[in-house]
Amino acid sequence: MAQLDIFGNVEGESLFNPVSILNGQYIYAPNFFTKLDSDKYFQILKNDIRWNQESMNMYGKQVMFPRLTAWYGDNDKPYSFSGITLSPHFWTKELSQIKDKIEPIANTQFNSVLLNRYRDGNDSISWHTDAEKELGINPIIGSVNFGATRKFQLRHIITKEKIEIELTHGSLLIMQGELQHFWQHQVPKTAQKVNERLNLTFRVIK
Ligand SMILES: O=C(O)CCC(=O)C(=O)O
Ligand SMILES: [Mn+2]
């Protein structure tokens, strides 16, 4: 008899089939949230999340992040990235609902979420990996998108192979396996006129 986990799935298996790539796996589910729920979450998160304009020191100059950010989760897990340390706010009702909905797909219980708000095409996140030491080995990242469609690019650090995914309103992207150790990702600026976009990356901080 197959062992069922706390989500009722066969142990270690997701309900969605992952796509295997060189040194990693991902699951992409467009329309994971209905249009109605996605519109609702976009409005509520935009208005209720405590968005910050963070900056970091680069060569002795304070440089503003080209996006707004926020950090929520179990409130005992501070998190450092890009030279700053954030202490989380506690889960809101909507963030908990979204987390509950994606956990069976990721087969993981997340304890925090980093939110990004891209106000227009000038906002972006440049090449990086989500491989901070607090995330441990082979981190599972659950990325949820509301609002404008933006291009998400993956680039293998050795072969330089590129994969591009248009992340749409209500979509879910799970990155897993060795992916964070071998692939960088980014959301580049765009000259096209785009509306606001919210991205939520759910993580497990050890
Ligand atoms: O906005 C996205 O799709 C990616 C965000 C991201 O990579 C991050 O917050 O680490
Ligand atoms: Mn990232």
> What are the pLDDT digits (tens) for 30-73?
999 999 999 999 999 999 999 999 998 889 999 999 999 999 99
Nearest CA to ligand 1 atom 10: 130
Ligand 1 atom at minimum distance from 152 CA? 3
- pLDDT for the residue 131: 94
Q: Which ligand has an atom closest to residue 69 CA?
A: 1
- pLDDT for the residue 108: 96
Nearest CA to ligand 1 atom 1: 199
pLDDT reading at 12 higher than 60: no
Contact residues for 51 (Cβ-Cβ < 8 A; gap 6+): 68, 69, 70, 115, 117
Domain CATH for 120: 2.60.120.590
Ligand 1 atom at minimum distance from 118 CA? 1
pLDDT reading at 126 higher than 90: yes
Burial of 158 (0-12, 13-18, 19+ CB in 10 A): exposed
* Cβ 33 vs Cβ 41: under 8 Å: yes
**Alpha-carbon distance 140 to 131, whole Å?**
10
* Cβ 149 vs Cβ 38: under 8 Å: no
Residue 177 counted as domain residue: yes
Indicate the helix (H) or strand (E) that contains 41: helix 35-48
- Tell me the pLDDT tens digit for each residue of 68-87: 999 999 988 788 877 778 78
104 secondary structure, DSSP code: H
Residue 135 counted as domain residue: yes
Residue 111 counted as domain residue: yes
Residue 184 counted as domain residue: yes
Tokens representing residue 57 in the block: 């020191």
Q: Is 167 in the pocket of ligand 1 (CB under 6 A)?
A: yes
- Please tell me the total count of domains within the chain: 1
Residue 2: band (very low, low, confident or very high) from pLDDT cuts 50, 70, 90: low
- pLDDT for the residue 182: 98
Residue 129 counted as domain residue: yes
Residues around ligand 2, an ion, CB closer than 5 A: 130
Q: Is 114 in the pocket of ligand 1 (CB under 6 A)?
A: yes
Q: Which residues pair with 79 in a beta bridge?
A: 86
Residue 14 counted as domain residue: no
Domain of 99 in residue numbering reads as: 37-51+66-203
pLDDT reading at 11 higher than 70: no
Q: Is 69 in the pocket of ligand 1 (CB under 6 A)?
A: no
- pLDDT for the residue 83: 76
Beta strands 79-81 and 84-86, pairing class:
antiparallel
- pLDDT for the residue 31: 95
Residue 197 counted as domain residue: yes
CA of 10 to the centre of ligand 2 (A): 29
Ligand 1 atom at minimum distance from 199 CA? 1
The H-assigned helical ranges of 67-193 are 93-106, 179-182
Residue 18: band (very low, low, confident or very high) from pLDDT cuts 50, 70, 90: very high
Pocket test for ligand 1, best of 113, 114, 125, 179 (most atoms within 8 A of CB): 125
Residue 60 counted as domain residue: no
Sign of CA dihedral 141, 83, 95, 193: negative
